C-alpha cells in the first residue's frame, strides 16, 4: 500500500466563545487507501503521543449514513465528491497537497469545539412537524397500502436525506430548505403522512426561521454538495405545501 504526505490546516477552537485559529500540521506516511476520518485518527494519535491536544471532530457510523461527520474540506462541505466526509479517501488528493479543514460555517450550527458543531436545530425542526401519527404495534403487511411505484420512488429519493447539514453550510443564505423540503416531500407523498400534511410545512418552516436559517435564493449549492443526492425539486414541493397550509389557515380549515 502506497503512502502519501499532506500539509494540513486544521481549525482549532476551544469553545463557542473562543476566537479560534488554523494550526499547521504535516501529515506524513498516510496510507492512500484510508478515509479522511482515518487520516484524522492517525494525526490525532501522533499528536497525543507528542503530548499535544488532538483535534476534535464528530463521527459515528463512518459508512455515509448517519451524517455526523460534518466538516468543510477545502471549502466544500463534506469534502470533494458526492458523499459524506467519512467516504472521502486520501487517494482523491494529490501527494503533498495542502488540505484545509474547518467546521460548518452557519449561524444556526454553533461551534462546540474545533470541527464539531451543534446541529440540534435540525432536531427541533423535525420535532415541529417531521413525523406522522400512527398506531403502534406490529408492522402491517407490505401490500396493505398500495402506493404507485413513481410515488414510492420519489418518496424514497427524498427520504435519503441524512440530515448532515451540508446543504445549509454550502448555501450563501445558510438555508435549510433542502433538508426541510426532503422531509416534507417524503412524508407528504405517502398515505401515512396525510394526517399532518396541512400543518407540517408551516410548522417546520416557522421553526427553521426561528432557528436562524435563511431562505432559498436558488443558488443550488445545497444540491451540489448533498451526499445523498437529494434534488432541489423538494424545495418546490415545500413551497407548495407551505402555501396550501397558509390557505388552509385562511379558510379556517386548521389553526
- 43-97 tens-digit pLDDT: 999 999 999 999 999 999 999 999 999 999 999 999 998 889 999 999 999 999 9
- Residue 82: what pLDDT? 80
- Cα separation, 76 vs 88, whole angstroms: 12
At 254, the pLDDT band (50, 70, 90 cuts) reads low
At 255, the pLDDT band (50, 70, 90 cuts) reads low
Instruction: State the DSSP code for 171.
Output: S
pLDDT for residue 19 is more than 80: yes
In CATH, the number for domain 119-250 is 1.10.1060.10
Q: Of all residues in the chain, what percent carry a pLDDT higher than 70?
A: 98
Helix (H) / strand (E) containing 6: strand 3-12
- Cα separation, 167 vs 59, whole angstroms: 18
- Residue 92: what pLDDT? 92
CA dihedral 237, 241, 243, 248 (to 10 degrees): 160
- Residue 178: what pLDDT? 98
- Report domain extents, the chain: 3-113, 119-250
The phi-psi region of residue 137 (left if phi > 0; otherwise alpha if psi is between -120 and 50; otherwise beta) is left
Instruction: Give the predicted TM-score (pTM) of the model.
Output: 0.92
CA atoms within 13 A on the CB side of 72: 20
Question: Selecting from 3.10.20.30, 3.40.50.170, 3.60.15.10, 3.20.20.80, what CATH number does the domain 3-113 have?
Answer: 3.10.20.30
pLDDT for residue 142 is more than 90: no
Burial of 101 (0-12, 13-18, 19+ CB in 10 A): buried
DSSP characters over 47-69:
HHHTT-PPPP---S--SSSS---
Amino acid at each position: 500500500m502506497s503512502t502519501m504526505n499532506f500539509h494540513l490546516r486544521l481549525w482549532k477552537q476551544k469553545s463557542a466563545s473562543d476566537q479560534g485559529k488554523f494550526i499547521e500540521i504535516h501529515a506524513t506516511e498516510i496510507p492512500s487507501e484510508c478515509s479522511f476520518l482515518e487520516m484524522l485518527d492517525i494525526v490525532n494519535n501522533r499528536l497525543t503521543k507528542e503530548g499535544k491536544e488532538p483535534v476534535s471532530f464528530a463521527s459515528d457510523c463512518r459508512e455515509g449514513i448517519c451524517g455526523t461527520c460534518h466538516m468543510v474540506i477545502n471549502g466544500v462541505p463534506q469534502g470533494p465528491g458526492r458523499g459524506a466526509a467519512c467516504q472521502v479517501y486520501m487517494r482523491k488528493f494529490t501527494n503533498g497537497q495542502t488540505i484545509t479543514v474547518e467546521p460548518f460555517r452557519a449561524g444556526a450550527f454553533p461551534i462546540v469545539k474545533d470541527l464539531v458543531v451543534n446541529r440540534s436545530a435540525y432536531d427541533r425542526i423535525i420535532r415541529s412537524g417531521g413525523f406522522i401519527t400512527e398506531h403502534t404495534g406490529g408492522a402491517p403487511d407490505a401490500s396493505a397500502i398500495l402506493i404507485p411505484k413513481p410515488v414510492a420512488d420519489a418518496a424514497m429519493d427524498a427520504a435519503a436525506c441524512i440530515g448532515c447539514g451540508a446543504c445549509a453550510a454550502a448555501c450563501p443564505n445558510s438555508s435549510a430548505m433542502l433538508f426541510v423540503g426532503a422531509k416534507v416531500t417524503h412524508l407528504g407523498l405517502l398515505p401515512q403522512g396525510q394526517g399532518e400534511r396541512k400543518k407540517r410545512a408551516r410548522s417546520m418552516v416557522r421553526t427553521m426561521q426561528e432557528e436562524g436559517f435563511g431562505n432559498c435564493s436558488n443558488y443550488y449549492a445545497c444540491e451540489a454538495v448533498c451526499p445523498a443526492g437529494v434534488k432541489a425539486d423538494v424545495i418546490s414541493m415545500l413551497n407548495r405545501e407551505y402555501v396550501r397550509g397558509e390557505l388552509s389557515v385562511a379558510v379556517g380549515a386548521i389553526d
